[in-house]
Amino acid sequence: MKNILLIVVSICFFQYSFSQKKELKTVDRQIKAGEYEKALVSLNEIKNLVDNSSDDKIKAKYYYFLGLARYQNGSGSFGNKILSIQDFNETKKFEEKSGSKTYSSKIADIFSNMFNEFVTNGNSNIESKQYQKSYKNYEAAYRVSSKDTLYLRNAAIVANEGKFYDVALNYYLELVDLGFTGISMSYKAVEKESGEMQTFQDKNQRDIAVDFVKSHINPRNELSESVEANMLRTIAAIFKEKGELDTALNYVYKAKELNSEDINIILLESVIRYDMGDEESYLLLIEKALSIDPNNVELIINQGIVTRSQGNNTKALEFFIKAIEINPNSRKANLMAAVTILEDEEAINEQMNRLAEEGMRWDEDYEKYDNFKEQKKNLYRESIPYLDKVLELDPYDIDSAKTLKNIYQYLDDSDNVKKYESIISEIESIISTSNEILN
């Protein structure tokens, strides 16, 4: 009875295997004829049979044909090519289990062609600023050749540049999990004819050019710097953009462990601290950044803005004036200097209004009022050079022009009042003409 059962099982298995092989021969003919859609239909019909088979060689063949049907000899869609990578990897997996290498070498050639195509497309798409297409092609290049982690980083950079933050974040986190640092060896030599230093794809090619072809001299190896800290900083910046400030700060700490003096990491932390409402830490970090880059006008202006928000206008003005001394043509520094000076006008007006409301009966009341009036004039005079500079740098700044006209009215300077009335009229005319053109 046992023997009969074994015979029956053997016959069933033979028929089962024969059926699969027969169907796969049909698929082979369809692929060779370029009938890829028919091949996909045929493959789909026997998928369950193959998946339930214990024969790894048949599974390897099935997935190889599936990859070919999707790849379509290079003419398949981008989406189908991505799926074919998965199919070919399945083939390689089953061949490793079975000990066969029937298809692996053929897949290597296909992967090489795909890799070059994806890299070329990634490069051309970034040139035309098609960020989404570019990062997808760079990622595909990495999926085809996982040793080339540089292309996964390229995908992350391009996705971030195109503001696809969630996509970029996933790429960067994958790189972190892989332990990617970006450190690599470059093989260089000087071309005799041009005298220029050239970089070779690998050491073997460089050595051939130097030792055998004799076209190059002075070979040298250069180890690139780690990009790990910069990568962690970028991850922190993305989390900040997403509003996840605590997580962003954690990645800043990780970046600082690698390079605590990197000004970009310090500045990112300062912005995160500011967004968290921690102005004291923000100012301390700005001071640290300025110890590295003492003439950074934008940082000095930011110091002034935060100091002003804390109510210390005198110190804030010192920062704005310092920024102007470094860069007299900083519109922002000149504008903030003028705004900070004129802010004291409100307190003077309150004092003058109080005196007027209470009724000025004595000479000392009139004297106080005149003193306040003179203080106000002095504020105006102090602000004029900065407002003039703003208007010089931005001739269409109508608000600055109106402020200057009002100042000169208070100072009883009719000539300058007329001057700025004319400037205002000219700006309004230009704005009106521009609006008409746009409409």
Q: What is the pLDDT of residue 19?
A: 59
Q: What is the pLDDT of residue 2?
A: 46
**Is residue 380 one of the residues assigned to a domain?**
no
Residue 360 near residue 354 (C-beta atoms within 8 A): no
Tokens linked to 351: 């004092």
**Is residue 45 one of the residues assigned to a domain?**
yes
What is the tally of structural domains in the chain? 1
230-279 tens-digit pLDDT: 999 999 999 999 999 999 999 999 999 999 999 999 999 999 999 999 99
SS3 readout for 39-106: HHHHHHHCHHHHHCCCCHHHHHHHHHHHHHHHHHHHCCCHHHHHHHHHHHHHHHHHHHHHCCCCCHHH
**Is residue 31 one of the residues assigned to a domain?**
yes
Residue 131 near residue 147 (C-beta atoms within 8 A): no
**Is residue 68 one of the residues assigned to a domain?**
yes
**Is residue 34 one of the residues assigned to a domain?**
yes
Residue 251 near residue 245 (C-beta atoms within 8 A): no
d(C-alpha 162, C-alpha 155), whole Å: 11
Give burial (CB, 10 Å; 0-12/13-18/19+) of 85. Answer: buried
**Is residue 89 one of the residues assigned to a domain?**
yes
Q: Per-residue b/e over 146-185, b at no fewer than 16 CB within 10 Å?
A: eebbebbbbbbbbbbebebeebbbebbebbeeeebbeeee
**pLDDT tens-place values along the chain, 439 residues long:** 444 444 433 334 444 454 567 788 888 899 998 899 998 998 888 888 887 776 888 889 999 999 999 999 999 999 999 999 999 999 999 989 888 888 988 999 999 999 999 999 999 999 999 999 999 999 999 999 988 899 999 999 999 999 999 999 999 999 999 999 988 888 899 999 999 998 887 788 899 999 998 999 999 998 888 899 999 999 999 999 999 999 999 999 999 999 999 999 999 999 999 999 999 999 999 999 999 999 999 999 999 999 999 999 999 999 999 999 999 999 999 999 999 999 988 888 888 888 777 776 677 777 888 888 899 999 999 999 999 999 999 999 999 999 999 999 999 999 999 999 999 999 999 888 877 776 6
Residue 401 near residue 420 (C-beta atoms within 8 A): yes
Tokens linked to 94: 């089953």
Residue type for 286, please?
Answer: I
Q: What is the pLDDT of residue 6?
A: 40
**Is residue 83 one of the residues assigned to a domain?**
yes
pTM of the shown model: 0.77
Non-local (6+) Cβ contacts of 64 within 8 A are: 87, 88, 91, 103, 106, 107
Q: What is the pLDDT of residue 12?
A: 40
Q: How far is CA 350 from the centre of its chain?
A: 49
Locate tokens 């007006």: which residue?
Answer: 349
Count CB neighbours of 77 within 10 A: 10
Q: How far is CA 28 from the centre of its chain?
A: 46
Q: Which domain holds residue 78?
A: 21-102
**Is residue 79 one of the residues assigned to a domain?**
yes
Q: What is the pLDDT of residue 1?
A: 47
Across-strand partners of 186?
222
Considering Cα of 154, then 158, then 164, then 169, what sign does the dihedral take? Answer: positive
